[in-house]
Amino acid sequence: MLLKNKVGIVTGAASGMGRAASIRLVREGAKLGLFDISEEGLAGTKAEIEAQFPDAEVICLKVDVSSEEEVKNAVEHVSGHFGKLNIAFNNAGILSGGGPIRDVDTAEWERSFRINFFGGLYCSKYEAQQMLKSGEPGSIVLNSSVGGLIGTAGGSAYSCAKAALITLAKSMACDLSADGIRTNAICPGQIDTPMYQGILTRRFGDDAEAKQRFLNLQNPQHRLGLAEEVAAVVAFLLSDEASHITGTALPIDGGHMATNAAYSV
């Protein structure tokens, strides 16, 4: 019960790392507001939580994180509903490429930044405001990527937006630490989510051996990470157990950053 009596928000909660984190945070005692653009996905996450934890206190809101007004209203609704806000996992994002720099798709860059970066910025801004009103210690985790730590072939739009999230987390730590709010970024590598399975399918089809050869090159563990493994790290960073950790960018990548493998979306 690392998060007993905590009220939190998880964005991109309809599937993947967002769904896994939502389940883990409830398991640790948190009350949650779940955000996503997919109402069907949110309903699935809520149903899975309630099946495991019948007494869970969870509300779902359809939110487009690229809309500052929607984010503001949703964050204020969660804080008002539960009476406070303590923690947030700003996970919502999209996979975006942008193409090689020589013929970059500017529209794709703008779309990537609207969702991957500005979505995290808007959420963090209004979450911090509500945390300050709560008068209790707060913690925000932004979901970046190993792609935000290194370049990606054909994926500059994604990498640059995710890199900006890392700098945002560090800047927020400088701004908010004196007020008792910690901010960190996580940098997942190849994680077994619907998004990443889509990448593997587009690249390798049904060739399981080719997929495994690729994974063998990507990290020393020779496997995909699990969304539940990411969720465990998020729960720790949001908890008071991580009270002296702020302004970090933590890879969760099976050792990918320890190798010299080229990363590509």
Which residues are identified as catalytic?
A: 158
Q: What torsion, rounded to 10 degrees, do the Cα atoms 232, 40, 140, 120 define?
A: 130
Backbone phi, then psi, for 218, in 5-degree steps? Answer: -80, -35
d(CA 178, CA 235): 22
Helix (H, G, I), strand (E, B) or coil at 186: strand
Burial 166-187 (b: 16+ CB within 10 A, else e): bebbbebbeebeeeebbbbbbb
Residue with token string 């908890």: 239
Q: 191-192 and 87-90: which strand pairing?
A: unpaired
Q: What is the DSSP string of 104-143?
A: --HHHHHHHIIIIIHHHHHHHHHHHHHHHHHTS-EEEEEE
Q: Which DSSP letter does residue 224 get?
A: P
What is the C-alpha to C-alpha distance for residues 68 and 118, in angstroms, rounded to an integer? 8
Which two three-digit tokens encode residue 217? Answer: 């090159």
Name all contacts of 258-263 with Cβ < 8 Å and 24+ positions apart: 258/220, 259/217, 259/218, 259/219, 259/220, 261/217, 261/218, 261/219, 262/153, 263/146, 263/147, 263/150, 263/151, 263/152, 263/218
